[in-house]
Structure 1
Amino acid sequence: MASAMAGCAPIVDTRGNMVDNDRIETVKIGQTSREQVQQALGSPSATALFDNENWYYIGKRTETLAFFAPEVLEQQVLIISFDKDGIVSGIDRLDKENGNQVQIVERTTPTAGAEMTFLQQMFGNLGRFNAVDGRGALPTGGIGR
């Protein structure tokens, strides 16, 4: 009975960088440099695509019970903005309430070429091998036997 109950215990999983509030409070707008932010918070999960003015710390904590889909317990995106001198100019936080669910599209993209069955793939190359001449050599000069 105890082993059956242990199998139903929820699994809590943390992915990404869930930054503690204590560490976030060490970052001061107008005072903290990029290097100090990296020492306090670690490397960012992502940076701005075209400039290095925004750093993103992204994390999620989920709970999975048995075979059910994971439930999001906590989700956090911390955005640290820097001015041109590399000093913190803004701190923004987004959480689970700010997020949008994205629906995955279940379509497939057609490709050029013929659709082959399993048997066509298995037997399609029969008869396409190079013939060995009387000396046992392949036409390319390799040894065939």
Structure 2
Amino acid sequence: MYRANAFKIGLVAAMGIGLAGCSSIRESRGYVVDAMLVDAVQPGLDNQRSVEMTLGRPSFTSDYGQPTWYYVSSVTARRPFEGTRIASHSVLAVKFDTAGNVVSADRSGIDRVVRLSPDGDKTPTLGRERGFLEDLFGNIGQVGAPGAGAGQ
């Protein structure tokens, strides 16, 4: 009787541990969004200093054109034996005028993310393809050859 109960408890514990290993791991990357702070940024009222005091330093800023600060936030999920996928993504773009006052604060989500799928695991290059033996023995006789620039 005691042995049967111990077996059942052990089986339930093993199943619980096994199922816990199948749960996904969520990670926040970039700016951690606080909706109340983001809503506090008001066009016409705030300037660069007040935005930095409210939201902190931006993820990156624009180098050209209208001064814009970008706050990028992503939450990724990763299941065991699978690749990482984006669960949620948001970008807050705070645009300033030349005097440093907020003109607009626009939000965008995962709908604006571009998915790239590379073609294979090799980068195509111009020129001829060389084999392993050509790479290994290709320079024999080339060192010091006329016109190769050696000895000049």
Same fold per superposition (TM over 0.5): yes
Match 1:102 to one of 109, 115, 134? 115
% same residue: 29
Higher mean alpha-carbon deviation, 20-29 vs 1-10, is at 1-10
* TM-score, scaled relative to structure 1: 0.71
2:56 aligned with 1:79: no
Q: Which residue of 1 aligns with 2:48?
A: 34
Structure 1 stretches of 4+ moved >4 Å: 126-130
* TM-score, scaled relative to structure 2: 0.69
Match of 1:41, as an amino acid? L
Structure 2: how far apart are the matches of 1:15 and 1:117? 43
- Structure 1 unaligned spans of 5+: 131-139, 141-145
How many equivalent pairs are there?
Answer: 130
- Structure 2 unaligned spans of 5+: 1-13, 145-150
TM-superposition CA deviations, 1:73-112 (whole Å, max 9, x none): 211010111122101111111122x325434351744323
Query: What's the CA shift for 1:31?
Result: 1.7
SS at match of 1:12: strand
Q: How does 1:54-93 map to 2 (within 5 A)?
A: 54-93=68-107
Match of 1:47, as an amino acid? T
Could you say which structure has the higher helix fraction? 2
Structure 1: how far apart are the matches of 2:26 and 2:130? 44
- CA RMSD, aligned part only? 2.7
Match of 2:71, as an amino acid? Y
Structure 1: how far apart are the matches of 2:131 and 2:17? 46
CA contact (8 A) 1:18 1:76 kept: no
